[in-house]
């Protein structure tokens, strides 16, 4: 089961309003390589990992991704907190406002709604882990693109933390994949 | 495989945020509650990172020892924070007479 703790994993404190940047960061909320995709991928694949080690790692990383989803949602919400229709429109986000106003909706930056088609579950630990390794790098690359687009220091401090976590998760998935591949060879 | 962080196995500790800032609820970053929250976040992050490391290195006794020490710290900081500030978890709620204290505190997306 899951236990909610009333805090974010790291502090999120964005001073400036910027609906345009919020729309860019939404990519990591409900986009193909975002935190929603990541958490649901690992929390689904864990059921068919071959041993306790695999079930533990996918559960633990999937759970951390849920806390990252909460962080990304908090950034998007803080960036649009208090923005009205006219401000959204001025930043080129009138199309978002007309449907969702100040809500945090699970879609990509381009407005494509979230879908489970973004990830797989194959009951094959090698196939699943190779997907997971790619997923972490795709998320890392998306965070790199956000850092290229954003000049907001408060936002970037949090994005850099999330980016670093993708690298750690990639390392751990790689260790599990190596462990399983060594077993296959024996 | 190469990355920008040097050793990939070293647990990552986030840098402290510079300078005092005003919070949504008017508390400064230098308030005792805020300092305690920072301590809890830092220690619990270390614990979570050690947990992932131990999942793939279950026989690393040095990491296991660090995990035990950090878990005790997290428990202590969380209990102290809940006693002095507001409930963070369900077991920390229900401590006030006549009022449901779980509603208190910083719900997302509060600026923390």
pLDDT over 70 (residue A80) = yes
Instruction: Judge whether A13 lies within some domain.
Output: no
Q: How confident is the model over A121-161, as pLDDT tens digits?
A: 999 999 999 999 999 999 999 999 999 999 999 999 999 99
Mean pLDDT of B64-78: 98
Band the pLDDT of A96: cuts 50, 70, 90. Answer: very high
Is A163 contained in some domain? yes
| DSSP string covering B62-99 | HHHHHHHHHHHHHHHHHHHHHHHT--SSGGG---SSSS
Is the model's pLDDT at B20 over the cut of 60?
Answer: no
Pairwise CA distance, residues B109 & A8, whole Å: 9
- A164 falls in which pLDDT band (50, 70, 90)? very high
Higher pLDDT, B29 or A50: A50
Structural domain span for residue A145: 19-113+120-185
Residue A141 lies in a domain: yes
Share of chain A above pLDDT 90, in %: 98
Q: Count the domains in chain A.
A: 1
Mutate to test the interface with A, among B23, B34, B45, B111 (most CBs of A within 10 A): B111
pLDDT in tens, B41-70: 999 999 999 999 999 999 999 999 999 999
The Cα–Cα gap between A141 and A166 comes to: 10
Classify residue A160: in a domain, yes or no. Answer: yes
Q: Which of A49-53, A71-75, B95-99 has the lowest mean pLDDT?
A: B95-99
Q: How close, in Å, is residue B41 to chain A by CA atoms? A: 6
Q: How far apart are CA B61 and CA A65, in angstroms?
A: 27
Q: Is the pLDDT of residue B26 over 70?
A: no
| Structural domain contains residue A7 | no
pLDDT band at A186 (very low <50, low <70, confident <90, very high): confident
The pLDDT of residue B15 is: 43
Residues forming beta bridges with residue B22, ordered by sequence position = B28
Question: Which residues in A lie closer than 8 A to residue B56 (C-beta atoms)?
Answer: 53, 57, 172, 175-176, 179
B23: contact with A, CB 8 A cutoff: yes
Q: Is B38 helix (H, G, I), strand (E, B) or coil?
A: helix
Mean pLDDT throughout A5-12?
97
Contact B21 A13 (CB under 8 A): yes
User: Does A169 fall in a domain?
Assistant: yes
pLDDT at B22: 46
CATH number of the domain where residue A180 is located? 1.20.1260.10
Number of inter-chain CB pairs under 8 A, A vs B: 94
pLDDT band at B16 (very low <50, low <70, confident <90, very high): very low
pLDDT for position A6: 97
As a whole number, the mean pLDDT across chain A is: 97
Residues 42..81 of B with a Cβ closer than 8 Å to A: which?
45, 48-49, 51-53, 55-58
* Mean pLDDT rounded to a whole number for chain B: 83
Confidence of residue B1 (pLDDT cuts 50, 70, 90): very low
Mean pLDDT for A75-88 is: 96
Q: Does A5 touch chain B (CB under 8 A)?
A: yes
Give the span between the Cα atoms of B25 and B105, in whole angstroms.
Answer: 9
- Minimum mean pLDDT range among A30-44, A113-127, A164-178, B5-19: B5-19
As a whole number of angstroms, the distance between CA A25 and CA B56 comes to: 31
Does residue A72 register a pLDDT over 70?
yes
Q: What is the mean pLDDT of residues A99-104?
A: 97
Answer whether residue A6 is part of any domain: no
């Amino acid at each position: 089961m899951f236990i909610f703790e009333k805090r974010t994993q790291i502090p999120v404190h964005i001073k400036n309003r910027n609906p345009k940047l919020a729309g860019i960061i939404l990519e990591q909320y409900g986009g193909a390589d975002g935190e929603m995709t990541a958490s649901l991928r690992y929390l689904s694949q864990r059921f068919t990992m071959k041993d306790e080690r695999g079930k533990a790692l996918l559960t633990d990383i999937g759970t951390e991704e849920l806390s990252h989803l909460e962080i990304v949602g908090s950034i998007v919400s803080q960036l649009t907190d208090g923005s009205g229709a006219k401000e959204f429109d001025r930043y080129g986000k009138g199309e978002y406002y007309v449907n969702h106003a100040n809500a945090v909706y699970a879609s990509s930056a381009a407005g494509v709604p979230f879908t489970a088609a973004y990830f797989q579950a194959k009951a094959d630990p090698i196939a699943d882990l190779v997907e997971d390794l790619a997923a972490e790098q795709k998320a890392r690359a998306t965070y790199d693109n956000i850092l290229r687009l954003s000049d907001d220091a408060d936002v970037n401090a949090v994005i850099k933390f999330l980016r670093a976590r993708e690298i750690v998760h990639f390392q751990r998935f790689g260790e599990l994949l190596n462990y399983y591949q060594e077993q296959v060879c024996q | 495989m190469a990355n920008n962080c040097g050793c990939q196995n070293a647990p990552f500790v986030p840098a402290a945020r510079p300078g005092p800032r005003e919070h949504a609820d008017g508390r400064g970053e230098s308030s005792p509650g805020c300092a305690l929250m920072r301590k809890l976040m830092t220690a619990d992050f270390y614990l979570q990172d050690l947990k992932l490391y131990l999942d793939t290195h279950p026989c690393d006794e040095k990491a296991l020892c660090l995990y035990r020490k950090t878990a005790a710290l997290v428990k202590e900081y969380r209990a102290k924070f809940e006693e002095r500030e507001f409930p963070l978890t369900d077991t920390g709620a229900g401590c006030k007479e006549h009022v449901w204290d779980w509603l208190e505190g910083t719900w997302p997306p509060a600026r923390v």
